[in-house]
């Protein structure tokens, strides 16, 4: 892009509403978290493909290069391995890099640097060096991106000791969790559900012709605040069933429960590593039932780990087997994206099965 072309601005939200409450979408909240963090700490640098002059393909870094200069917000070559490798070196020498991988589907060339270097650095150096880096990346479906722009690879990173994995579901959480991630001394994978970048939507998307119903945007305070990593959020409270979800799926299960009149503890996990197992255990012991929902493929997905943990810790409290509703074990489809998503029909069927003895 030449200097004579106009850069698009950041996505616009409702801003301050009639009650004086400040509402942002997730893009704006992430942009603000970066801005607040960079203003507080000169060692924070933002880097990645198109994050500088253009402000990122989803506008999450818009305006930051103009404010903080090209030495702190800069574009990189198209080399995910190089982006992550540079960030590891920066972290080891005292900086706090926030590299962006343009889509989670592109992160695989950087796995060697993430797993063999970033995740191991603290341990292999006996604490002499650390890698305080936060790798941001849009993930999941919802934009008809097909197989190369829609993947949900969170289980890969949850398996790696030394990495933390964060997945926000609301703009408020996105800002507070990102600030915490940037200040953390360990490497963090920060996955941003692209389908809810511009505001959460209801779960009614079994067919693409179905209209998207937009929810209100989050109230996001100005300035600095943190949400601790490893603490789940109780999105809704009930005593019939516990539903474990994160990212986009939190809004889907909330919509299904509302339609079906089910009183559920919907736990938004927020971070899958570290995991708030205490909150999960307390909820399942209260309800006696557990449904796990995630967009990623089923086999060896993070839901399998959740199912194992719930069974190990809550077996004698369970009134029904743990159920999972997930994406299918296929490459991500383009034309059938809405059928691939765990939607109201499949989630509703799983809830009916889990609660069937209560209806007798």
Neighbouring CB atoms inside 10 A of 144's CB total 13
* Helix (H) or strand (E) segment spanning residue 360: none
Neighbouring CB atoms inside 10 A of 60's CB total 28
Which residue of the set 149, 294, 317, 334 is catalytic? 149
Q: Are 195 and 201 in contact (CB under 8 A)?
A: yes
Nearest CA to 350 among 294, 292, 277? 292
**Rounded to whole angstroms, how far apart are CA atoms 72 and 49?**
14
Neighbouring CB atoms inside 10 A of 314's CB total 22
Distances (CA, A) of 80 to 50, 77, 355: 13, 8, 45
Q: Max Cα separation, the chain?
A: 69
**Rounded to whole angstroms, how far apart are CA atoms 172 and 102?**
22
Provide the pairing of β-strand 22-24 with 218-219: antiparallel
- What phi and psi values does residue 297 have, to the nearest 5 degrees? -60, 155
Query: Which two structure tokens, joined as six digits, stand for 134?
Result: 């936060």
Distances (CA, A) of 13 to 16, 67, 199, 278, 344: 9, 21, 9, 36, 28
Torsion over CA: 10, 14, 19, 21 (sign): negative
**Rounded to whole angstroms, how far apart are CA atoms 241 and 286?**
9
Distances (CA, A) of 327 to 252, 309, 333: 14, 21, 11
**Rounded to whole angstroms, how far apart are CA atoms 243 and 253?**
8
User: Among this protein's residues, is 251 annotated catalytic?
Assistant: no
Residues annotated catalytic, as ranges: 149
């Amino acid at each position: 892009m030449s200097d004579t072309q106009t850069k698009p601005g950041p996505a616009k939200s409702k801003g301050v509403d009639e009650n004086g409450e400040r509402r942002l979408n997730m893009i704006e909240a992430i942009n603000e978290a970066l801005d607040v963090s960079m203003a507080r700490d000169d060692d924070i640098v933002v880097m990645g493909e198109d994050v500088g002059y253009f402000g990122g393909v989803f506008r999450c870094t818009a305006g930051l290069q103009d404010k903080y200069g090209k030495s702190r917000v800069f574009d990189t070559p198209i080399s995910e391995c190089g982006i992550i490798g540079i960030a590891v070196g920066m972290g080891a020498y005292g900086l706090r890099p926030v590299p962006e991988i343009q889509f989670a589907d592109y992160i695989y060339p950087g796995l060697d640097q993430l797993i063999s270097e970033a995740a191991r650095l603290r341990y292999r150096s006996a604490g002499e060096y650390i890698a305080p880096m936060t790798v941001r990346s849009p993930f999941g479906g919802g934009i008809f991106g097909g197989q190369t722009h829609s993947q949900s690879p969170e289980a890969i990173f949850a398996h790696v000791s030394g990495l933390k994995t964060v997945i926000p579901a609301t703009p408020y959480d996105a800002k507070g969790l990102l600030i915490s991630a940037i200040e953390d001394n360990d490497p963090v994978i920060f996955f941003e559900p692209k389908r809810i970048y511009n505001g959460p939507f209801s779960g009614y998307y079994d067919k693409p012709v179905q209209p998207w119903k937009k929810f209100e945007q989050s109230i996001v305070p100005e300035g600095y605040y943190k949400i601790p990593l490893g603490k789940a959020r109780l999105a809704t409270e009930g005593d019939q069933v516990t539903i474990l979800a994160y990212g986009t799926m939190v809004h889907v299960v909330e919509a299904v429960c509302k339609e079906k009149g089910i009183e559920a503890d919907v736990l938004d996990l927020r971070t899958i590593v570290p995991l708030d197992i205490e909150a999960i255990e307390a909820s399942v012991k209260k309800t006696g039932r557990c449904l796990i929902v995630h967009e990623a493929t089923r086999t060896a997905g993070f839901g399998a780990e959740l199912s194992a943990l719930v069974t190990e810790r809550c077996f004698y409290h369970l009134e029904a087997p743990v159920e999972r509703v997930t994406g299918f074990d296929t490459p991500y489809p383009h034309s059938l994206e809405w059928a691939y998503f765990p939607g109201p029909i499949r989630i509703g069927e799983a809830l009916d099965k889990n609660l069937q003895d209560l209806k007798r």
